[in-house]
Amino acid sequence: MKNITVIGSGTMGNGIAHTFALHGYSVSLVDLNEQALTKAIDIIQRNLDRQISKSKLTENEKIATLNNITTFTDLKGAVAEADLVIEAATENEAVKSRLFNELDDLCADATILASNTSSISITQLASNTKRPDKVIGMHFMNPVPMMQLVEVIRGYRTSEAVTITIFTLAAKLQKTPVIVQDYPGFIANRILMPMINEAIYSLYEGVAGVMEIDTVMKLGMAHPMGPLQLADFIGLDVCLAILKVLHEGFGNSKYAPCPLLTNMVAAGHLGKKSTIGFYDYRQSDAKELIVASRFSNSRF
């Protein structure tokens, strides 16, 4: 594999593009408009500079990485030479399904189609194509350049050859790939999201405050980040979407999203990306986390 197309230039998409380009692959990065792509390249450049400041990268490696990325707003042109297309669009099944249907028509027969989805069925996405054997999940963790894990999700009809190819490719990126089967939430989010949801329920029911809940999990369970802060970083809308997939997929009430989470998403308090979630991120230079004013007391 030499030519990789990444669809979506948001947090995950630009991180995936960064990682492949850093390892010498030719990357076509696609988004709907030039402004989003310009922002993505700027983020990649700043992240590369951060790696240089930590002596993990040289200036020449940074230049080579950026030269390996070409941006597109035209999907057809971006996938024309692709050996692998990785979809990193919004976590919405209808959007992804339409995209896979379109990719099936635009891509060469040998092209592998992968999704970076964190919970949506690979088998369902593959059903929108005439190549279900060549559709697979490639779930990177955020931030992609730093996190080692890649969940390789095998759909119901994904071939053994494609599974091995993607597993090997992830290893070439100096990641640790883990093969999992295609069931709601896979492994990472099937375990993580109920924990985050329970933390939100604990806040909702007044058991403890935001900082107290996160402190218990950091100091008591040796988690590097508390579940409420982690939810803010993931995006509360993404957490809600994944919980809905789990709840619908398993039909089990233990996956039902906490009403507080539902209300926060409806109010547009999505976490770090909206500057307000369980914490307040508007003071970007703050040295300590600031609990959002709504949650400044244990009861609210």
Angle made by CA atoms 296, 297, 300, in degrees to the nearest 5: 100
**Overall average pLDDT of the 292-299 stretch:** 79
Q: Which of 128, 189, 197, 202 is catalytic?
A: 189
C-beta of residue 15 within 8 angstroms of C-beta of residue 21: no
pLDDT at 300: 47
Give the Cβ contact number of residue 298 at 10 Å. 14
In the chain, the percentage of residues whose pLDDT exceeds 90 is: 94
pLDDT at 109: 97
Provide the sign of the torsion angle of the four alpha carbons 106, 111, 116, 121, taken in this order: positive
Closest CA to 231 of 198, 206, 259: 198
Under the banding of pLDDT at 50, 70 and 90, the label for residue 299 is low
Amino acid at 124: Q
Summarised one tens digit per residue, pLDDT across range 127-183 is: 999 999 999 999 999 999 999 999 999 999 999 999 999 999 999 999 999 999 999
* pLDDT for 284 beyond 80: no
Domain 189-295: top CATH class: mainly alpha
Q: Which of 18, 139, 247, 269 is catalytic?
A: 139
Under the banding of pLDDT at 50, 70 and 90, the label for residue 298 is low
In the chain, the percentage of residues whose pLDDT exceeds 70 is: 98
* pLDDT for 288 beyond 90: no
Summarised one tens digit per residue, pLDDT across range 83-94 is: 999 999 988 999
DSSP per-residue string spanning 181-205: ESSTTTTHHHHHHHHHHHHHHHHHT
The CATH architecture to which 3-181 belongs is: 3-Layer(aba) Sandwich (3.40)
pTM: 0.91
Domain ranges of the chain: 3-181, 189-295
C-beta pairs of 45-52 under 8 Å, 24+ apart in sequence: 47/15, 47/18, 47/143, 47/145, 48/18, 48/22, 51/145
139 is catalytic: yes
Summarised one tens digit per residue, pLDDT across range 188-247 is: 999 999 999 999 999 999 999 999 999 999 999 999 999 999 999 999 999 999 999 999
Q: Which of 26, 115, 121, 151 is catalytic?
A: 151
C-beta of residue 69 within 8 angstroms of C-beta of residue 41: yes
